Structure 1
Amino acid sequence: MLSDPTEAVNITSHIQHIHGTYGHSALLSVQYRSSSSDKPVVKWQLKREKPITVVQSVGADIIGNLRADYKDRIQVFENGSLLISNLLLSDEGTYGVEVSITDDTFTGEKTINLTVDVPISKPRVSVPSSAVLELADNFTLSCFHDNGTKPLYTWLKGGKTLANDSRILLSPDHRVLTISKVTMTDDDVYICLVENPISSGRSTPFKLTVYRKQKDKYSL
């Protein structure tokens, strides 16, 4: 039989989402309150179609054996918080924690979302040529980087963000920039900016030179 609700475990957390870095640590920080002096029973699960039990503990003392993929990477603190070390991309997801004191006490629950990303390495711009002829050529700039997850690409021209228009075409992921019928106004400095939740990088500025088209000397 459950005890009076005033004896329920109350869990609080100042965070709802953590942006973790691959290979680093992430602290899923919670705190609990209870009228009991007994140590809490803590259970952390990674919510999947079939939930994965990450760890169970009494206070900070882990119960049983950890899964092989969590061995030597998990620590539970007295307040119920979970520390995951040497983060893997597979650690990303929604984590739920249950804290109870005895079988007769209401269980407190809390969820925290964890994303895991690889930092963006310095982007570089690939171009077929550094010079084009006014009105005669189309021009394509491509942005590359060796490392980094969930990249978001932005192109800057003279420090201002470029968007699709009648002559500017960005690929669906914005990684490739195509300028049609280049004009003298396109003669400028271009930079590729790549960002993800934990980092950002800028390419070395690229200077596009546009040559003015010569008029036919025989034209009137």
Structure 2
Amino acid sequence: LSTEPLEGVNITSPVRLIHGTVGKSALLSVQYSSTSSDKPVVKWQLKRDKPVTVVQSIGTEVIGTLRPDYRDRIRLFENGSLLLSDLQLADEGTYEVEISITDDTFTGEKTINLTVDVPISRPQVLVASTTVLELSEAFTLNCSHENGTKPSYTWLKDGKPLLNDSRMLLSPDHKVLTITRVLMEDDDLYSCVVENPISQGRSLPIKITVYRRSSLYIILSTGGIFLLVTLVTVCACWKPSKK
């Protein structure tokens, strides 16, 4: 029986997770080692329910015809690495590379995860009004942004993360903040931060003014009296025209 160790291809990768941006490039970097000097057979696949072959090659020479969605977007390197250009959202997933050499007994394998996202555009806080009456049942703030995939939301009050408060209710995705039973202490600056794996955006702060009920009543009553006096004066001075 032979006692010589079995030879094989060993593949290493500096990273296992790469965050890519739509329209840009991502390098799926690997390095292989082998005792053979022959050119390697390289196969990259995108793992799906049914794996999708991205490219096959001998060395850097592509074997066969590339799929239409990968044409002019693929570049192979001698160490087995794959450069994928003009990234699309559909490119996201787990990529597996297999490298084999005729003289070697074993095929080397390595997987790399690629995420692809659209950068977050600058968010803004939307409200129906920037003023609210003290002890109102609810006041809602909405963190809105036009672009960006996989967003996560954080709310800030006076530039600091919101403290744990039972009156501060967040929607399941944290995009909407609802302040219940509004208090005077809620009078402050509010902003939101939106981020994803490749970017972050922060809104301009918006000032929410809380009025005490007594103050509002004074304003309304004063305005009402002024209007009543004006109407009485107009009626007293008005005389029907003679025909």
Task: Provide the TM-score with structure 1 as the length reference.
Answer: 0.93
What are the ranges of 5 or more consecutive residues in structure 2 without an aligned counterpart?
A: 219-243
1:33 aligns with 2:28: no
CA displacement, residues 144-187 of structure 1 (integer Å, 9 cap, x when unaligned): 11110000011101122226632111000000000011111101
The one-letter amino acid paired with 1:112 is I
Structure with the higher helix share, 1 or 2: 2
**Cα contact 1:28–1:83 (8 A) shared by 2:** yes
SS at match of 2:45: strand
CA displacement, residues 97-137 of structure 1 (integer Å, 9 cap, x when unaligned): 00011165311000000000000000011101011111135
**Cα contact 2:139–2:178 (8 A) shared by 1:** yes
The one-letter amino acid paired with 2:74 is I
1:66 aligns with 2:70: no
The one-letter amino acid paired with 2:8 is A
- Count of aligned residue pairs for this structure pair: 214
Corresponding residue of 1:151 = 151
Quote the offset at 1:141 in angstroms: 0.3
The one-letter amino acid paired with 1:62 is V
1:194 aligns with 2:191: no
Task: Provide the TM-score with structure 2 as the length reference.
Answer: 0.84
1: CA distance, partners of 2:166 / 2:155:
16
**Cα contact 1:45–1:51 (8 A) shared by 2:** yes
2: CA distance, partners of 1:36 / 1:26:
29
SS at match of 1:7: coil
Corresponding residue of 1:12 = 12
2: CA distance, partners of 1:60 / 1:210:
67
Corresponding residue of 2:50 = 50
CA displacement, residues 25-76 of structure 1 (integer Å, 9 cap, x when unaligned): 0000000000111111100000111101000011111111100000000111
**Cα contact 1:56–1:62 (8 A) shared by 2:** yes
**Cα contact 2:10–2:108 (8 A) shared by 1:** yes
Corresponding residue of 1:109 = 109
Corresponding residue of 1:88 = 88
Q: Which of structures 1 and 2 has the bigger CA Rg?
A: 2
1:23 aligns with 2:23: yes
Alignment of 1:165-176 (within 5 A): 165-176=165-176
Quote the offset at 1:7 in angstroms: 2.4
CA RMSD of the aligned region, Å?
A: 1.6
1: CA distance, partners of 2:140 / 2:178:
4
2: CA distance, partners of 1:5 / 1:48:
35
2: CA distance, partners of 1:104 / 1:174:
53
2: CA distance, partners of 1:197 / 1:81:
23
Displacement over 6 Å in runs of 4+: none
The one-letter amino acid paired with 2:27 is L
